[in-house]
């Protein structure tokens, strides 16, 4: 495979599928699914299908106040950075059977998934609003607790199958350990996506809008979009881990979208059925209840090959 | 853009010394029975995100500063709804020395939803009217119209004073 076609495939992945051209409408669609599922759970009808799109366009047309100095530049920068990295993470997902292109590996994907959360922390502090700072502090504490479990789960999956390449992982057969890892990842998702019961950072009504309190118009639209893309990247990561490898490209894409839909529905139902936990309970949940299992999985994953090698 | 503005009114709720009656009715408008989210309505925590300011209460002297600050914090284009009779006329608290109402003295009001408290359906109608006004403004910061809309005004006259006299 020569360089040109590799580059072309990489660009196609980043810009078309599962990249921007697919990901932005999909982000709106899944934001709508989330709101609709919550509404149905509460016995309401919920927003119309195009709602996230209307919200986005409306926010693009709002006036943005002039903020002088570095703080103003930073407040423009954080949402863009979050949006770009979430889009990059979506572009890395090996949905289609790999034929060249940029073979993104797991570590890069994890790093890109982490950037929006970092941006949110920085955004709250650079907005200099007291509510933003509280929200950022909560996001920082929460990300320290769920990321340990999240990373341990990923490490155990990767170590068990001896590869850090996502494309290879997607094609390898599923072991019980991988399912354990997927469950651990699922437990971390509500915290990563700021959903109930771990919706502490953006705790609506409680600390106004958390880190986003001071963000207006275009910046807010970018935050909404990056949140939608995060949804796709995070649920897409799980979808790639559980989808069996399919060689027909349209079937692979269809199954991928279907599984994301299922996970979004599941998370929305959990979010509407639960109340927000306090920060200490959330941290305790991740450090005490979940960490043991994730740690156990990682130990098994690393120890199993060693034990197998010791056997004559 | 106009369609999007009309279909996505985000509210910020501001209590300027209300008895909580109108506040309860505003929340009831978002509840399963009335479900204002069908119109794209979202109750926002921060005035920076909002399009429409919903004011309840007769505007006490202490609340004036807050009302003006919050109004200035909402980015253009914006609209204001006065929910209940208090922000429109100061209602039964008229001539109280602790008040600095009505609301129109301090910020331009686009829609009045009279009632003590108004029904949730009237509030939703008011929000829909305010959203239509927002769409008409189309990005230009214009002062509120001289004749604000009054919800439930049978005479068809869009002048608030006539309507409030008609009510009493």
Which residue, A222, A224, A192, is CA-closest to A84? A222
Which residue, A216, A188, A164, A186, is CA-closest to A282? A188
Measured between beta carbons, which residues in chain A are less than 8 angstroms from residue B44? 209
Q: Supply the range of the domain harboring residue B69.
A: 2-167
- CB contact, 8 Å: B75 with chain A? yes
Measured between beta carbons, which residues in chain B are less than 8 angstroms from residue A205? 45
ipTM field:
0.83
Domain count, chain B: 1
Which residues contact residue A140 at a Cβ distance below 8 angstroms, ignoring those fewer than 6 apart? A121
Out of A35, A64, A207, closest to residue B75 by CB? A64
CA distance B79 to A245: 53
Q: What is the pLDDT of residues A97-114, one digit of tens each?
A: 555 555 667 888 888 888
Strands B52-56 and B79-83: parallel
Q: Do B75 and A61 touch (CB under 8 A)?
A: no
Dihedral sign computed on CA atoms, order B94, B99, B100, B105? negative
> Is A167:A174 a contact under the CB 8 Å cutoff?
no
- Give the start-to-end residue ranges of the domains of chain A: 3-310
CA distance B22 to A305: 67
Measured between beta carbons, which residues in chain B are less than 8 angstroms from residue A47? 37-38, 40
Helices (H), B108-159: 120-137
Tell me the pLDDT of chain A (312 aa) as tens digits.
Answer: 456 677 777 777 777 777 788 888 989 999 999 999 989 998 888 899 999 999 999 888 888 888 888 888 888 899 999 999 998 888 887 776 555 555 667 888 888 888 999 999 998 888 888 888 888 988 888 888 888 888 888 888 888 777 777 777 777 777 777 888 888 888 888 888 888 888 877 777 778 788 888 888 888 899 999 999 988 889 888 888 887 767 777 887 888 889 889 999 999 999 888 888 888 888 888 888 888 878 887 888 888 778 888 876
Distance from CA of A225 to the nearest CA of B (A): 15
Which residue, A101, A97, A143, is CA-closest to A121? A143
- CB contact, 8 Å: A43 with chain B? yes
Q: What is the pLDDT of residues A240-293, one digit of tens each?
A: 888 776 777 788 788 888 988 999 999 999 988 888 888 888 888 888 888 887
Q: What is the CATH number of the domain that holds B24?
A: 3.40.50.12280
Which residues contact residue B112 at a Cβ distance below 8 angstroms, ignoring those fewer than 6 apart? B81, B82, B88, B126, B148, B149, B150, B151, B160, B163
Which residue, A277, A121, A127, A126, is CA-closest to A191? A277
Give burial (CB, 10 Å; 0-12/13-18/19+) of B82.
Answer: buried
Out of A48, A204, A215, closest to residue B40 by CB? A48
CA distance A22 to A16: 6
Q: Do B7 and A204 touch (CB under 8 A)?
A: no
Give burial (CB, 10 Å; 0-12/13-18/19+) of A74.
Answer: middle
Structure tokens at B69: 């600050």
Distance from CA of A47 to the nearest CA of B (A): 4
> Is A191:A47 a contact under the CB 8 Å cutoff?
no
Strands B52-56 and B42-43: unpaired
Measured between beta carbons, which residues in chain A are less than 8 angstroms from residue B28? none
| Interface A-B: count of C-beta contacts within 8 A | 84
């Amino acid at each position: 495979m020569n360089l040109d076609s590799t580059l072309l495939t990489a660009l196609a992945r980043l810009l078309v599928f599962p990249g921007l051209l697919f990901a932005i409408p999909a982000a709106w669609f899944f934001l709508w699914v989330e709101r609709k599922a919550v509404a149905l759970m509460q016995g309401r009808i919920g927003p119309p299908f195009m709602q996230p799109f209307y919200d986005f366009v409306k926010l693009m047309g709002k006036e943005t106040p002039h903020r002088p100095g570095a703080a103003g530049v930073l407040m423009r920068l954080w949402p863009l950075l979050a949006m770009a990295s979430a889009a990059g993470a979506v572009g890395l997902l090996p949905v289609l059977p790999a034929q060249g292109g940029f073979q993104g590996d797991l570590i890069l994907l994890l790093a890109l998934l982490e950037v929006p959360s970092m941006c949110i922390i920085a955004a709250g502090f650079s907005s200099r609003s007291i509510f933003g700072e509280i929200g950022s502090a909560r996001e920082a504490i929460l990300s320290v607790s769920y990321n340990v479990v999240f990373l341990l789960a990923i490490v155990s999956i990767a170590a068990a199958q001896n590869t850090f390449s996502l494309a290879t992982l997607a094609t390898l057969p599923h072991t019980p350990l991988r399912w354990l890892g997927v469950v651990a990842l699922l437990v971390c998702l509500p915290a990563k996506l700021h959903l109930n019961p771990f919706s502490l950072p953006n705790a609506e009504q409680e600390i106004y809008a958390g880190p986003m309190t001071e963000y207006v118009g275009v910046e807010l639209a970018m935050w909404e979009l990056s949140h939608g893309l995060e949804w796709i990247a995070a649920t897409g990561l799980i979808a790639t881990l559980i989808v069996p490898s399919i060689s027909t490209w349209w079937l692979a894409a269809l199954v991928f979208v279907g599984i994301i839909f299922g996970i979004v529905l599941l998370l929305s139902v959990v979010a509407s059925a639960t109340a927000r936990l306090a920060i200490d309970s959330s941290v305790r949940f991740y450090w005490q209840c979940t960490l043991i299992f994730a740690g156990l999985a990682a130990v098994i994953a690393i120890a199993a090959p060693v034990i197998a090698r010791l056997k004559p | 853009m106009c369609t999007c503005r009309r279909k996505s009114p985000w509210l910020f709720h501001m209590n300027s010394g209300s008895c909580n009656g109108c506040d309860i009715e505003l929340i009831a408008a978002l509840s399963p029975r009335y479900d204002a989210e069908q119109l794209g309505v979202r109750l926002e925590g921060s005035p920076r995100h909002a399009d429409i300011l919903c004011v309840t209460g007769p505007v006490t002297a202490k609340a004036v500063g807050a009302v003006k600050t919050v109004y200035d914090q909402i980015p253009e284009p914006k609209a204001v709804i006065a929910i209940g009779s208090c922000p429109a006329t100061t209602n039964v608290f008229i001539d109280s020395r602790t008040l600095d109402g009505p609301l129109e003295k301090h910020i331009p009001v686009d829609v009045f939803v009279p009632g003590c408290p108004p029904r949730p359906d009237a509030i939703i109608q008011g929000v829909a009217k305010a959203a239509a006004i927002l769409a008409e403004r189309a990005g230009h910061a214009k002062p509120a119209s001289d004749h604000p809309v009054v919800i439930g005004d049978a005479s068809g006259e869009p002048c608030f004073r006539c309507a409030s006299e008609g009510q009493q």
